[in-house]
Structure 1
Amino acid sequence: MTALEFAVQDVAGAHGARRAGADRVELCAALGSTGGLTASIGTIEAVVGAGVPVHALIRCRAGGFVYTDDDEIAVMNADARAAVSAGVAGLVVGALTQDHRVDVEVMRRVLDGIEVDDMELTFHRAIDQIDDRSAALDTLIDSGMTRVLTSGGASHCAEGLGELAAMVEHARGRIQIMAGGGVTVGDIPGLHRAGVDAIHLSARRVVPDDGGPGGGGTSGHEQLDNHLAAAAAEQLRSTSSAEHPTS
Structure 2
Amino acid sequence: MTTVEICVSDVPAALVAEAAGADRVELCADLGQGGTTPSLGTIAVALRRLRRVDLRVMVRPRGGDFRVSRTEEQVMLADIRAIGGLANPGGLSVGIVVGALTARNRLDLPVLRRLVHAAAPMPVTVHKAFDLVEDQHSALEEIIALGADTVLTSGAQATALAGASRIAALRRQAGERIHILAAGGIRAHNVREVVRETGVGQVHLRAPRQRKGREATDGAHVRRVVGELLGAGPV
Under a length normalisation based on structure 1, what TM-score does the superposition of the two structures give? Answer: 0.86
Letter in 1 for 2:64: G
Q: In percent, how many aligned pairs have the same letter?
A: 38
CA distance in 1, matches of 2:17, 2:64: 28
Contact kept, 8 Å, 2:180 with 2:200, in 1: the verdict is yes
Contact kept, 8 Å, 1:80 with 1:91, in 2: the verdict is yes
In the alignment, is residue 198 of structure 1 matched against residue 197 of structure 2?
Answer: no
Contact kept, 8 Å, 1:122 with 1:147, in 2: the verdict is yes
2:226 counterpart residue number:
233
Match among 91, 103, 107 for residue 102 of structure 1: 107
Query: 1:110: Cα distance to partner?
Result: 3.1
Query: 1:84: Cα distance to partner?
Result: 1.5
CA distance in 1, matches of 2:130, 2:97: 12
> What are the within-5 Å matches in structure 2 for residues 65-84 of structure 1?
65-67=66-68, 69-84=69-84
CA distance in 2, matches of 1:83, 1:173: 27
Query: 1:135: Cα distance to partner?
Result: 0.4
Secondary structure of the residue aligned to 2:230 is helix
2:168 counterpart residue number:
165
| Rg (Cα) greater in structure | 1
Secondary structure of the residue aligned to 2:12 is helix
CA distance in 2, matches of 1:113, 1:59: 15
User: Which 5+ residue runs of structure 2 have no aligned equivalent?
Assistant: none
Query: 1:111: Cα distance to partner?
Result: 4.3
1:215 counterpart residue number:
none
Contact kept, 8 Å, 2:116 with 2:146, in 1: the verdict is no
> What are the within-5 Å matches in structure 2 for residues 1-247 of structure 1?
1-31=1-31, 33-49=32-48, 50-51=50-51, 52-67=53-68, 69-86=69-86, 87=88, 89-111=94-116, 113-114=118-119, 116=120, 118-193=121-196, 194-209=198-213, 221-238=214-231
User: Which 5+ residue runs of structure 1 have no aligned equivalent?
Assistant: 210-220, 241-247
**Alpha carbons of structure 1 residues 74 and 112: separation in structure 2 relative to 1, 3 Å:** farther
Deviations 1:180-214 (A, max 9, x none): 122111221122112112000111112233xxxxx
CA distance in 2, matches of 1:119, 1:161: 29
Which stretches of structure 1, 4 residues or longer, exceed 6 Å deviation after superposition? none
Under a length normalisation based on structure 2, what TM-score does the superposition of the two structures give? Answer: 0.90
Secondary structure of the residue aligned to 2:96 is strand
Secondary structure of the residue aligned to 1:56 is strand
Contact kept, 8 Å, 2:150 with 2:178, in 1: the verdict is yes
Contact kept, 8 Å, 1:57 with 1:91, in 2: the verdict is yes
Query: 1:19: Cα distance to partner?
Result: 1.4
**Alpha carbons of structure 1 residues 171 and 30: separation in structure 2 relative to 1, 3 Å:** same
**Alpha carbons of structure 1 residues 239 and 192: separation in structure 2 relative to 1, 3 Å:** farther
Letter in 2 for 1:81: R
Letter in 1 for 2:204: H
CA distance in 1, matches of 2:153, 2:47: 25
Secondary structure of the residue aligned to 2:4 is strand
Contact kept, 8 Å, 2:116 with 2:147, in 1: the verdict is no
Contact kept, 8 Å, 1:5 with 1:200, in 2: the verdict is yes
